Structure 1
């Protein structure tokens, strides 16, 4: 038996050597890349269904985190000035992930980029849950920062989908609405802040499993990218930054105000779930009836709705009025982002660096809203 195995192994080596001579002289120790070359965009696709599922998992994880993070920050912060730190670090992490996400998505492959983002979410959720169990404020801040990094990667789902058509980007945004509706149920099932954060970590595990089914690499299309900052790009970025500033201030103050109003954790989770549903729900209408959402009118109407909702949250007359204000902020945010997405992708195809700069401005404004208004 051993003689036969040795002969068979020798035959295999001989065949490999002859094949190597046919393909070109190979030498001992030569390293040959076994990875397939980057294929043309027409031959490999990342369909909007997988993009929508990945984005919805990230939104649902975000909803669970937002349902407990502001209140845990209030309970665990050593001083009143640090209450908003975990939420602000969540947004800072998302902002810092903008450029790495843009460079990795098409530079090193979408599978690696979104896998890295989901891995950070898994670790961040687990660390935040451990910090809550140990009453460790520093650990909560680090976990929130890692969760923010994961969210920054997930935000690029909409840009990738919109590269084919802006309607596809709106469909990916709309997928977050259905996911947000599941947040109150999961918060109720978790029954504790630590378990809720672990559930968010589990959702990122699902996103990680989905990322391995993505294309390894998609070659960038030649030409068609805008190299200058157009007026449409600047308007979309400025209006979007204002919307994210108000949204983050509302997300931080909303749950805290509801807690002061003696709202139950289930009510707070439900309010945040409806808030997130209203953020992504308008995108479903825009994908079905795009003519109803003129980009410029959407920016104006959305900002007006957000300011009215912020007034209701800041006033804090009752739990019901605060919840209504959160819904108004969310719907206004969704309408503004519809207008911004259409301005970005319908007037040309922005470069990856421009899209990263756009997201950096939005998320930086969100972090500023949590730090400045929350102080």
Structure 2
């Protein structure tokens, strides 16, 4: 690629891609996006397997048991706007590389905190892991450029990764080793992030931007309800299973299948989108989640709690499929609008972790 010297200046950002390469082929490598997102989901599965129980064992008071999980979600919420701005200003390679680096550091710090029985270190590590998850969630918006199906394909990558979580948990000898494995997965995601194109803008977004339409509002409200229920279930599900005398391996497997049920609907919708009309799917998804939350809260048996977690996951997946279609099938929303959407969802999730 040639560039006139007169056009170059210190600090200027240029696309390093040859002019002969089509822009869509440069910016829409969905397999890489799906792979990086899948690694982040697998890391999340490992963290969620050990974080609630370790919080219960290490918290100085009962009221603080939910702090690490809530900080995980608060970190994800706070990362929404920086992720959107960094993707546009410095490119996805730098933005997603930063997020994966935070996840690697957070997993290592949380593992060290468990080894030293330091509750506040666990809180800080969970917060950093949440920041990484907030960056990773933006993969689905990047992949949706031009079509909502691309976003569903990225979520489908999360379903495949969730299937590996029981194996990963069984291979880890201790909770600290599980968190170190999560840190290593974020390092692998960093390896994929640096292979992404250094693009600083998205095609077609400058001429036609969507305002905060009715579809955006409906998707955001329904998504916030779903994330609220999901976070409460993720916090209390493993704790209830532990109280019911379920072993760590079973809890890890249950959380892995829970995560698979969360992203499984996206795998189906990416090939059969007609099965998921947005508005009916939103209503059905919320109803299924409420039924699952009732089963988890009742805690009658290990089987009922596990089925409740699966129902919460399926309902969450359906709601997010419908929400993504509402967001991306019309005029493309701005990066700020997408960041606001994620902030509302993750803020509701943090509230769900602290509400019960």
- TM-aligned CA deviation for residue 46 of structure 1: 3.5
Q: How many corresponding residue pairs?
A: 346
1:350 counterpart SS class: coil
Which residue pairs with 1:207 in the alignment? 189
Asked whether the equivalents of residues 44 and 218 of structure 1 are also in contact (C-alpha less than 8 Å), the reply is no
Cα distance, 1:224–1:126 mapped onto 2, change above 3 Å: same
Q: Could you tell me which of 133, 139, 143 is aligned with 1:161?
A: 143
Which residue pairs with 1:17 in the alignment? none
Counterpart-to-counterpart distance in 1, 2:148 and 2:9: 43
Cα distance, 1:351–1:125 mapped onto 2, change above 3 Å: same
Asked whether the equivalents of residues 41 and 220 of structure 1 are also in contact (C-alpha less than 8 Å), the reply is no
Q: Could you tell me which of 34, 51, 61 is aligned with 1:79?
A: 61
Cα distance, 1:179–1:103 mapped onto 2, change above 3 Å: same
Structure number, greater radius of gyration: 1
Q: Could you tell me which of 88, 105, 108 is aligned with 2:90?
A: 108
Asked whether the equivalents of residues 180 and 274 of structure 1 are also in contact (C-alpha less than 8 Å), the reply is yes
Counterpart-to-counterpart distance in 1, 2:253 and 2:146: 35
- TM-aligned CA deviation for residue 99 of structure 1: 0.2
Asked whether the equivalents of residues 233 and 312 of structure 2 are also in contact (C-alpha less than 8 Å), the reply is yes
- TM-aligned CA deviation for residue 107 of structure 1: 1.4
Q: Could you tell me which of 201, 205, 209 is aligned with 1:225?
A: 209
| C-alpha RMSD over aligned residues | 1.7
1:349 counterpart SS class: coil
Counterpart-to-counterpart distance in 1, 2:171 and 2:343: 35
Q: How does 1:89-100 map to 2 (within 5 A)?
A: 89-100=71-82
Q: Could you tell me which of 130, 133, 140 is aligned with 1:148?
A: 130
CA offsets, 1:120-167, max 9 Å, x none? 000000000000000000000000000000000000000011122111
Asked whether the equivalents of residues 306 and 328 of structure 1 are also in contact (C-alpha less than 8 Å), the reply is yes
Q: Could you tell me which of 251, 254, 258 is aligned with 1:275?
A: 258
Pairing 1:314–2:316 present? no
Counterpart-to-counterpart distance in 2, 1:367 and 1:33: 38
- TM-aligned CA deviation for residue 215 of structure 1: 1.2
TM-score w.r.t. length of structure 2: 0.94
CA offsets, 1:237-276, max 9 Å, x none? 0000000000000000000000000000000000000000
Write out the 4+ residue segments of structure 1 that deviate beyond 6 Å after TM superposition: none
Which residue pairs with 2:45 in the alignment? 63
- TM-aligned CA deviation for residue 45 of structure 1: 2.4
Q: How does 1:16-55 map to 2 (within 5 A)?
A: 32=10, 36-37=14-15, 41-42=23-24, 44-55=26-37
- TM-aligned CA deviation for residue 225 of structure 1: 1.3
Unaligned stretches of 5+ residues in structure 2: none
Unaligned stretches of 5+ residues in structure 1: 1-21, 25-29
Counterpart-to-counterpart distance in 1, 2:212 and 2:201: 24
Asked whether the equivalents of residues 293 and 339 of structure 1 are also in contact (C-alpha less than 8 Å), the reply is yes
Counterpart-to-counterpart distance in 1, 2:113 and 2:219: 38
Which residue pairs with 2:223 in the alignment? 240
Q: Could you tell me which of 263, 269, 294 is aligned with 1:286?
A: 269
